[in-house]
Structure 1
């Protein structure tokens, strides 16, 4: 038998003779291919597992693997810090044990739906119990975690602590609900999404009435018609006219009243749900006070002039008036010329008119003293009307007096208040030259007693500031009566307003504060 030498290992590459060892070569090649295929398949899985573990461990929100019975299997560091337990302590309990008792039933029901295949995942807000006893509000997202064969083996939960966010949201919500300024939020189509209680009080609408409605419902013309154009221009140019600024503009209440408001608009987002927020302050009272201040300054100027007029013109005018009366009597005896007598009578009337004007000037110029005493307002009204009822009846003016029961007394200067009632009733009477109805109502509203004096006359034209000195709608009016009346009402701490409709009549409203019973007091204006 021939003896063979062992083959030497060499570093040179050698070709394998396929005819010499065909079976051994095929087996070796198949083993190499199987090993290579196994490595190619397991390498991505290994890389994916490492990536998952890294994300699991370092995620900023809590992540947990939970068994189908509720036991914690794994928890990352964010979750252990959130709940105050170590991972070992969590593994010894269930998620049900750490869930707020009121939230357990809903959580368990959702997990059962997951396991039955009815849903693929669920998301909800729920409360967990911290190890120290405090409640933690969280946002959880739970889904099934399958194995490599796609079979669900556990639950994976993403848990985010939203306690501070919700506390901040609650604080903002309470702030919006309790602020005295109106807060209105609008979407991209200018539809109202938020209408806080102050807005309800200011505009007279409820949140339900305004939700989803366009903001133009709160605007008078021409602002309502121009609003869409303004928004379109801003979206196109990004040049603001109202956004980021504080402006005084006009708004409209539910009852149609137009009032001045201080408006500040902010752009808070770029989504469709909330686009702009408007902060609104009703400045009606401030504007009224400013107007009254200007009126008082004008009255002071008028009063200064009046003092000179009364002194320089008053005495000669009195002499003229006396002389005209004597001349009228003498002419009545000497001649029957009616034209001459009519001319003298007209001259006397104009002299008396000038005297009355000076008297009103004198009321503005002199410093008036007030003595406030507890007074029944109905008694004052009845006393004034009783002295004028004959004149009213001659013209066909019917007087109606309506007094609420159990009215409180008001602390007023009786003589000055009589002047207020007389002047307002006289204006109402003169507004009804062909007869009508004069109605005086007295009632209480909150901390004020309201006296309304209404006529069925021609009304006051729009655009006329009847409280402006020398502005009048009457042919022979001086334009000083209403400024004097408002001056007297102001001195009582009250307000004088009116509403009017052309062709239907005017109502003046005097609001006097109700003060507690006390001693009489005096004041000067």
Structure 2
């Protein structure tokens, strides 16, 4: 009587080219059913396990612990032995399966004959020790084990009819899609698949149904009940009967929505970085930390250095003259390595033509493909440096000219004062002589400014407090006719002003002190004090000159006064953008305040 053809359930998650193992076994006379994984194998055993005589498990590239654990997850009992195809020379698998009576091992590379012999040996051992009750119990255990995985597993699982209608779905798949189990039974796999994936999935499912492929894997989008989409890593296996006919499909779906979201965010981030990197006006290059070789550059870097991209990729940043050999390259690179982030380090470098240029080098630590790199920025400041040098030279020349001009103005003013003095000696009219004296005092106050500017480190600005202090003492000594009875009291805060403000302010001080000495104390021998103050509040300075003399005549209106002194002070205050305030009280002196912006 002819022996019944044995059926092998081959669990092969990474099948070889052309399904060579299954073809070899079929040539040996076996009927082969292929399952891509343990859950599919369990489902096949549950659905039609009575037709399986032996399970052949190719653990291939799996770690041996995963393979042995997976073998334990196939509870078919001694009635259906499990034969593990192990990596060559690996004795650990055999050692770990020694306590499992229904599991044996054989090296995968032993050849078809050796594997066939191992199958025959395992089947003989089954025939000697296996009984129908053992087989029934084993199948019940298989059914319970699969149902436990199906109901409680973290992966979405579904049994799908050949027409792609859902026959059974587990809670994880319902949660993933937001449907209740009874709602899922009214739907199809095609109906929940996003339209962007429908055509590709349909074509591969046809190949799966025809037997062209044993399993179909893809990343697919599904449409949830609320209209949102969810990404799933889908494994679809064809479950066949003993005659090879398609019974149904087993679908396993891992929710990878968060993973795809992270990938999309990373993709956008990389895209944004690439666009910013290439279009940045700053010269950028990415350099490996290990050997200082250039990984990538942008267009601005090409323009700055004169090199084309193909000439730079893979070459050392240091050996290219970036920075120049006149710099301590080793020390510069050491600083990059130790500090990680360097900002605006001024270095000389050479372009492709050999021209020496100046740049501000900056670096920041980044990772490219898990490899640490520097993102180096070079800001070419060669033209700026040249302009700065020209400006410095020009300013130096301007300062020399300005000092010479101030010296000549001072000398000319002193000459005018001397000429006025010579003319004054010929005058006999006291009133005319007084006009000449006043003019001399005003000219000397201006000459004093240029004298101070000529000796200053800054030829365009003056310390107003020092200038007023010197000027006040000079005027007081020249005009004090009180026999030492008049006192000059000065309270001066430090204020720095330009020459265009100092000249009018000097004239104002000269005018106010002169008027106070002449008119506040008409009687000789009268004791009194003239006070000068200078202060700053915010951006406004305040200059005050006051006396404790006789005060102005009763009915005197300073706003409508036509006296030369008052008119001159008002005009000079307006010249510097300021205002003048005069207050007086008979017998208590006069106070004049000039406020002006700094």
What TM-score comes out, normalization by structure 2 length?
0.34
Higher relative contact order (CA 8 A, sep 6+): 1
Bigger Rg over Cα: 2
Normalised by the length of structure 1, the TM-score is 0.38
